[in-house]
């Protein structure tokens, strides 16, 4: 039987090609990961493009019920919303209510990508962060405001340049983004966004920068495993998952 240790349910934006392979790559033995796609709404545009991104994020939240309920028959130990920008649009003050709503719909414990990053940064004792984002200016500003409202000091913020669509970006570009965002004052670097491929470069970044590097998808798995009661160290994807 798959998921004999735990099953994790994940709500994924409709055009996101990154979350599934990254979570499959990191999940420990006996943990299965199961996905449902969020409602794309009526937006005919590029799902990873800048135009209409905030409206799509809000539409994902409005249409949360159907995909969340679709995961319930699997009896997952935890369900995670794999879309950091939805939390940015929703605001940090509304994060607890969002998590409560998601858990009620899925009938289990719940987490969000942004909420998982919050928990991860606190676990690592990092208050001063360097933020790297692949979003357009408006969503990036919401992201910075979110982390400041959550009690973190954003000592540096860098946007990835020349993004036509987040969903065609590469790990090499994520690596360069983290290097540009980092400053000596930062205690950790945060690469925001589940659509940006990151997990294959986290170890190299931590080696080169000499500090923790957190990504949305990495933190999401870490939090899901904790909520599911799976305490196994997962190596090769940064100190967060490798730690106790």
Separation between Cα atoms, residue 73 and residue 182, nearest integer Å: 43
**pLDDT the model gives residue 58:** 80
- Provide the token pair at 101: 């709503």
Domain boundaries, the chain: 6-113+217-234, 117-216
For the chain, 244 residues long, give each residue's pLDDT as a single digit of tens. Answer: 899 999 999 999 999 999 999 999 999 999 999 999 998 777 666 666 666 677 777 888 888 999 999 999 999 999 999 999 999 999 999 999 999 999 999 999 999 999 999 999 999 999 999 999 999 999 999 999 999 999 999 999 999 999 988 899 999 999 999 999 999 999 999 999 999 999 999 999 999 999 999 999 999 999 999 999 999 999 999 999 998 7
pTM: 0.95
Separation between Cα atoms, residue 206 and residue 1, nearest integer Å: 36
- Provide the token pair at 145: 């405001």
Q: Which residues contact 42 (CB under 8 A, 6 or more apart)?
A: none
**pLDDT the model gives residue 59:** 82
Q: Is there a common fold for 6-113+217-234 and 117-216?
A: yes
CATH of domain 117-216: 3.40.50.12500
**pLDDT the model gives residue 44:** 61
Helix/strand/coil percent split, the chain, to 5: 45, 15, 35
Sheet containing strand 109-112, edge to edge, reads 31-37, 6-12, 78-81, 109-112
Separation between Cα atoms, residue 224 and residue 9, nearest integer Å: 9
Separation between Cα atoms, residue 99 and residue 108, nearest integer Å: 11
One CATH from 3.40.50.2300, 3.30.565.10, 3.40.50.12500, 3.40.190.10 for 6-113+217-234: 3.40.50.12500
Q: Where are the alpha helices (DSSP H) in the chain?
A: 19-26, 53-62, 65-71, 84-90, 95-106, 113-123, 137-149, 171-181, 202-209, 216-228, 239-242
**pLDDT the model gives residue 45:** 64
């Amino acid at each position: 039987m798959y998921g004999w240790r735990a099953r994790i349910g994940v709500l994924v934006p409709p055009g996101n090609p990154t979350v599934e392979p990254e979570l499959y790559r990191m999940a420990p033995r006996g943990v299965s990961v199961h996905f449902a796609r969020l409602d794309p709404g009526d937006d005919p545009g590029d799902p990873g493009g800048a135009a209409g991104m905030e409206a799509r994020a809000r539409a994902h939240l409005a249409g949360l019920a159907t995909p969340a309920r679709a995961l319930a028959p699997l009896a997952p130990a935890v369900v995670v919303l794999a879309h950091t920008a939805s939390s940015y649009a929703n605001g940090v003050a509304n994060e607890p209510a969002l998590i409560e709503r998601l858990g009620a719909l899925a009938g289990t414990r719940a987490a969000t990508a942004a909420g998982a990053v919050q928990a991860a940064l606190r676990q690592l004792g990092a208050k001063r962060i360097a933020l790297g984002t692949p979003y357009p200016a408006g969503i990036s500003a919401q992201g910075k405001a979110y982390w400041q409202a959550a009690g973190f000091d954003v000592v540096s913020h860098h946007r990835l340049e020349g993004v036509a669509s987040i969903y065609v970006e590469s790990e090499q570009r994520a690596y360069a983004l983290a290097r540009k965002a980092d400053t000596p004052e930062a205690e950790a670097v945060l690469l925001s966004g589940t659509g940006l491929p990151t997990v294959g470069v986290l170890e190299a970044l931590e080696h080169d920068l000499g500090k923790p590097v957190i990504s949305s998808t990495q933190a999401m798995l870490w939090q899901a495993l904790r909520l599911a009661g799976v305490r196994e160290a997962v190596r090769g994807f940064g100190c967060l998952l490798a730690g106790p």
